[in-house]
Homo-oligomer: A and B are copies of this chain.
Amino acid sequence: MNIIITGGAGFLGQRLARALLTQDQMQFSTLTLADVILPSAPLADPRVRCVQADLGSQAEVQALVGADTGLIYHLAAIVSSHAEADFDLGIQVNIEATRYLLEAARHQAPGCRFVFSSSLAVFGGELPELIQDNTAVCPQSSYGMEKAVCELMVNDYARKGFIDGRVLRLPTISVRPGKPNKAASSFASGIIREPLQGEATVCPVSPSLSMWLSSPATVIDNFIRAAQVPAEAFGASRTVNLPGITVTVAQMIESLRRVAGDEVCARISYQEDESISRIVASWPGRFNISRAQALGFVQDADFDAVIRSFIQHDLQGAQQ
């Protein structure tokens, strides 16, 4: 069995690859990392194959999928602020590439498992206090619209039996190591990561904003779980609101203060960015996760633990 990770050079793609290579619940013979940037293997393992491919090209997508493909993790994407700034690129990568991949799976690896990474950014508009499984999406960004479109396609391809689809709506991920990116939520990692690295950082949203967060480690556990849930367990919808934890920006900074002290927190200043605020404030902060938990998906203990884990495993200079 071959597993493909698209966006395999990306943050979650690299982490997921490492996790797949070091677990033993799922057997596979090759793990293909595909990305428009040539991925590197996260571990020296003979099963890893790295492929440079632009998924915006249907021919390159077709070349990727083979009869031995049993599981596809589709993570490649143009992230939120980038898709908002470049509408056409967002459509091409976030919708068209997904369609090419679904078609390739349908015809070249029929019935293969297909895990799609969606996002809480599908929600927006007038939201209830608590998001339920049957709360309507109402995206207020092109990224959210594109994810919502793909959710519908993955569900219908699954209903038709073309693939065995699973859609995970990811919370905002924090703490993400490395550099800021073009996600509107980039600050949700930056306000923790930069101060811990001795750098100043600007928080572009109100401290009272509620966020729905997951650590990268928990999201990766949930990606692995997603491939293992029996198809019948999903019922009429393959889409799952993944568990997260609800914290305000102020609470995130209080966690940082408890874990790392006042001096670190003093590196945070506030300057509202209208365009980031508008996108992020349209996302919900609280979900009913009983269905996700019944399907075996997990959640972080609390945000203090998330920061401690980041310091231990991901901070520059930390031992992996």
Contact = CB atoms under 8 A, between A and B. Distances in A.
Interface of A: 87, 124-126, 128, 133-140, 142, 145, 148-149, 152-153, 155-156, 159-160, 235-237
A140 B87 contact: no
Given A126-B236, A134-B128, A155 B145 contact: yes
Given A139-B156, A145-B155, A159-B140, A235 B125 contact: yes
Interchain residue pairs A-B with the least CB separation, the first 3: A125-B236, A145-B156, A134-B136
B126 A134 contact: yes
A126 B235 contact: yes
Given A124-B236, A152-B145, A136 B137 contact: yes
Contacts of A135: 134, 136
B160 A139 contact: no
A89 to B, nearest CB: 14
Contact of A142 (B126, B134, B160, B235): B160
Contacts of A155: 138-139, 145
A134 B138 CA distance: 9
A152 B139 contact: yes
Contact of A87 (B87, B134, B160): B160
A128 to B, nearest CB: 7
Contacts of A142: 156, 160
Nearest to A159: B140
Contact of A136 (B136, B156, B159): B136
Given A136-B136, A140-B236, A153 B160 contact: no
Contacts of A153: 145, 149
B138 A236 contact: yes
A135 B138 CA distance: 11
A295 B153 CA distance: 31
Contacts of A140: 159, 236
Given A125-B236, A145-B152, A149-B152, 12 more contacts: A125-B235, A128-B134, A133-B136, A134-B135, A134-B136, A135-B136, A136-B136, A137-B152, A140-B159, A142-B156, A145-B153, A145-B156
A237 B159 CA distance: 27
A58 to B, nearest CB: 13
A136 B134 CA distance: 5
A237 B122 CA distance: 13
A217 to B, nearest CB: 29
12 contacts: A133-B136, A134-B136, A136-B137, A137-B152, A138-B155, A139-B156, A140-B159, A145-B155, A145-B156, A148-B152, A149-B149, A152-B152
A34 B236 CA distance: 37
Contacts of A148: 152
Contacts of A87: 160
A142 B235 CA distance: 17
A241 to B, nearest CB: 11
A166 to B, nearest CB: 15
A100 B149 CA distance: 16
A135 to B, nearest CB: 6
